[in-house]
Structure 1
Amino acid sequence: MKYDPQALGNIPAELVNLPRWVVWKLLPNNEPGKPPKKMPFDPKNGRPAKPDQPGTWGTFAQALEALQAGNYTGLGFELTGSGITGIDLDHVIDPSTGQMGEEARQIVDRLDSYTEISPSGTGVHILVKGHIPKDGKRNIPKGFEVYQGKRYLTVTGKPWGPLRPLQARQEALNWFYSAYFPDSGKAPETKPTAPTRAPTLDYLSVGLERDPAFSALWNGQRPTGDESSDDLALMNKLAYWCNRDEAAMVSAFLSSPYAAQKGRQHTKKMGRKDYLPRTARKAAQGCTETAADHDREFQERRLPAPASGGKAAVSPAPDDKPAKRPISLEVVKEALDAFGITVRHNQITNEMEITGLPPSYSQENAAAVLPVFLMDRLRAAHVTGCTIPVLEGYLFLVADEHRYNPVRELLENQDWDGVDRFPILYEILGVTDPAYHTFIRKWFIQCAAMACNSEKQPFGADGVLVLQGPQGIGKTRFFQVVAMRPDWFVDGATIDMDNKDSLIKSVSRWICELGELDNTVKKEQAALKAHITSPVDIIRAPYARAAAKRIRRTSYCGTVNPKDYLRDETGSRRFWTVPVERIDLDRLHSLSEAWLRQLWAQAHRCFAEAPNSFRLTGEERRWLEGNNQQFARPLPGEQEIRDLLDPGLSPSLWGWFKPSHIAQRVQGYKPTANQVGVIIRKLADELPGIEVRNTKTGRLYRLPIHKYYDE
């Protein structure tokens, strides 16, 4: 049977996720009259694969790539240490009719786990979670075989009948083994009787079903990262479930996926004669109770009914009902640990990050998929109260308990080497004015400060670094590069104070580029200024029950093409405008991640040594206000009033004028008295001698207009 690429999608994700895959092809048998051998090969290099050498296996993706190259016949899965038993039923499908024999069909229904058609097309392979007393048993007259190690099983992905999930079926597996592979010559009973005390392997399977922490360790989780400590952690669990039987503990350890996934160095350590026995002895000595102490509880188990909905293979006793457990935070945590799923809250992106879901689910839909995934599994485990809203609430709690700030971690874990890197940025931007250097430097310090914002005493930003220059020179690209990560930067954000989606987008990144600053109307620009310096954001996210207060960790930047983009006459000190004519993109793109890390480490050092060092001084602010006039859009009537002024006039000749007098004398546009006042206040930043005086008859302005102008 040639492999079917579409059928491979039926393979259970639990198998796909394990690095236990090989490829195989038919080779001539050296023994005369024997059929060709299905020889397994390492998909990484084409060398022979060995059942006891995990280094000769590969991932599913590696095996699939090797298979698609055309040099092999099919895929194979190595059973050794997987906790999975493989059953091979040969010649049970009539090739002429495609029908399965009654005996084989009953076996398939009773085991009720993943079943697929073998490469021959006349047999089936059944994969079951569970263990058998002795490996590699054959029933030659029946053509049945059962294995749990020291060999691989071919995998086609072509299901027999309805697609069944990979299931833990220890009781059914016990029945199959005793029925078709008896160790004595006596005829086996088809209905096993419950022993007064379960054998060690039975306890082990119960533990893997009921103890999520044990299951997680067994399947390869390494909670500490220290190999010896994690070895002892698994052995401690085995001491309980193997009833302090040190030989059984060592045997189980060696057959576990945990052991199979060890690297070369640790495999060598595990192979020392004294290492595992010594570890088992230490665990057994520290074990105060065993599974046998709770024997009655573990005997009260029920064999699940077949997926087809038929009668259970073994009818449970009236009091043999599965124990129910109410949903709780602890249950959700145990389930996440058992499935190897992590949930945490990213304080920069304000998103829940989920990893560890089976690859059949997309990462982009993980937040929606996980509650449904857990609900299905927990209900099957007889956990009550599992609903989507309840699970979403618990997942929110778990994520919040595991909140983290990736930018802050980067800044605080990176030591600055003492080299000033800002001059290189000035050169890349082509900026030579020291005042503009100040804006650039302080903005970077502000970014570091905002990323480390305090939850107890939050503070706001001081300004927006705005690069003004021709279109297409790379202004946005500059900010993208220095932000380092795509998910730490958002470009072209348009903030609408009445649109919560735009607000959420703008504060869900470390660095946010404001879009269309030159098209922002006066009213919006005034509201924008207040938003920029806010220390917190109070936003009700979509579907949230209430608004939430978030600490501001975002720093804003901007890019504009036209020079006259400012239009708020009340002041523009929050916009730190730096004109650029050309950006050295080649040099910008040559900046390595290590260099950028050092740049941010320098900015963080400046903030740590002087927390307010990102704020402009009074002198710098006054210079900014004056300099920003060149970027301000003229007010209606402003140019006409400017034409009246004579900045070179001797101060002794300056006169006092009412707004109405000024409006009468301008040519062209006639501003109102209120507009005249606004324009004069703006011009006062350029001409320090301008004064205002309030009188009983109205406001007077001292201007560089000859005091005898009225005459």
Structure 2
Amino acid sequence: MRNLETIADNLKVENRFIHFDKDKQPISYITLKPISIKKEGNFMNYKKALEGLKNSSKIKGIGFVLGNTPKGNFCGLDIDNCIDSNGVLSEEVQKIIDILDTYAEISPSGKGVHCIFFARKQGNICKKYFKYWCKCMEIYDKDRYFTLTGIAINDKNVEYRQKECDFIYEKYFSNSFDSKKGLLKNTYTHASSKEPLNLVFALENDRVLNSYWHGNRPLKSESENDFALLGKILFWVGYENPDVAIQHFLESPYFKQKDEKHLKKVLDTNYLIRTVEKIINLNVEVVHE
């Protein structure tokens, strides 16, 4: 499954393409032997890459090498198993694509997504495992190549996205959160003064969050609705920021509409802390490399 004619136009002009074999080992299009992607002399232009595909059955595809260029540093985000059997992209991954707002395509498996943009990642972690909405995410800015399919998710070129990359890295790859050690505080009355993402942006771009935030309660029980709203807030502020999420919850119109019985339940116990812990454990498994 590929349509290499439709990859981003500003990728096509680069001299950073390689071929790979059935094992995804980079190979020379002349000798068909393994090559190193750390040597720019092994790269080729887009035209040669397409020609090579036609000339040898041992060449199974083309890839684009990430790394520094005079135009900027090519960085890539690889999200595995985020497209279901019906071809539907997970909501969380769609938000990531919307935030990066850069060239994105479906991976060769048909179940994942590759995003390519200009940026440098800010830490040494490259891979994290998650639950339910994707299998794992990987981010690289050098010494790696991305297989290309040309099955684009959007009509974007490769864009400069350092600020957005920093946000994605902090939210999903940061070392600041470890679900096994538990970073939840014993009190939720003092939220962090640093908000990872402006809540106004989230409310404008997430209609489900907006609906819950303003008091909609579509589920049967108050606890289920609490869980849903807190889950949405956590997604946007980051699972490593539970105190911020709880503070936003307490400031929401949804919370202010609670009756006396449910207010007492929320304020007189560790109910919110326990709820947040459940949400985090359901959504994130952190692996440090």
TM-score range, shorter-chain basis? Answer: 0.5 to 0.7
- Show the 5 A alignment for 1:188-199: 191-192=195-196
SS of equivalent residue, structure 1 residue 81: strand
> TM-score of the superposition, structure 1-length normalised?
0.24
Partner of 1:177: 169
List 4+ stretches of structure 1 deviating above 2 A.
Answer: 42-47, 183-194
Distance 1:148 1:60 in 2: 20
Code of the residue aligned with 1:177 in structure 2: it is Y
Partner of 2:120: 131
Q: 2:105 aligns with which of 107, 113, 116?
A: 116
The answer (yes or no) to whether the contact 1:22–1:49 under 8 Å persists in 2 is no
Code of the residue aligned with 1:24 in structure 2: it is F
The answer (yes or no) to whether the contact 1:86–1:146 under 8 Å persists in 2 is yes
Structure 1 unmatched runs, 5+: 28-37, 195-304, 313-711
Aligned length, in residue pairs: 182
Distance 2:47 2:30 in 1: 10
Cα distance, 1:135–1:66 mapped onto 2, change above 3 Å: farther
Distance 2:112 2:169 in 1: 18
Q: 1:311: how far off?
A: 4.5
Percent pairwise identity = 30
Code of the residue aligned with 1:78 in structure 2: it is V
The answer (yes or no) to whether the contact 2:32–2:58 under 8 Å persists in 1 is no
The answer (yes or no) to whether the contact 2:62–2:148 under 8 Å persists in 1 is yes
RMSD, aligned CA: 2.7
Partner of 1:92: 82
- Structure 2 residue 136 is matched with structure 1 residue 150: no
Distance 1:57 1:22 in 2: 6
Partner of 1:33: none
Cα distance, 1:80–1:147 mapped onto 2, change above 3 Å: same
The answer (yes or no) to whether the contact 1:16–1:60 under 8 Å persists in 2 is yes
Distance 2:6 2:195 in 1: 32
Partner of 1:167: 159
- Show the 5 A alignment for 1:81-480: 81-82=68-69, 83-95=73-85, 97-134=86-123, 137-141=126-130, 142-160=135-153, 162-185=154-177, 191-192=195-196, 311=205
Structure 2 unmatched runs, 5+: 185-191, 207-289
- Structure 2 residue 48 is matched with structure 1 residue 62: yes
Distance 1:165 1:104 in 2: 19
Cα distance, 1:85–1:136 mapped onto 2, change above 3 Å: farther
- Structure 2 residue 10 is matched with structure 1 residue 9: no
Cα distance, 1:182–1:132 mapped onto 2, change above 3 Å: same
Partner of 1:25: 21
Distance 1:68 1:135 in 2: 38
Partner of 2:231: none
The answer (yes or no) to whether the contact 2:125–2:173 under 8 Å persists in 1 is no
Distance 1:45 1:115 in 2: 32
Q: 2:26 aligns with which of 30, 33, 40?
A: 40
The answer (yes or no) to whether the contact 2:9–2:157 under 8 Å persists in 1 is no
Code of the residue aligned with 1:39 in structure 2: it is Q
Q: 1:85: how far off?
A: 0.8
Distance 2:100 2:49 in 1: 28
Distance 1:135 1:79 in 2: 16
SS of equivalent residue, structure 1 residue 23: strand
Distance 1:135 1:61 in 2: 34
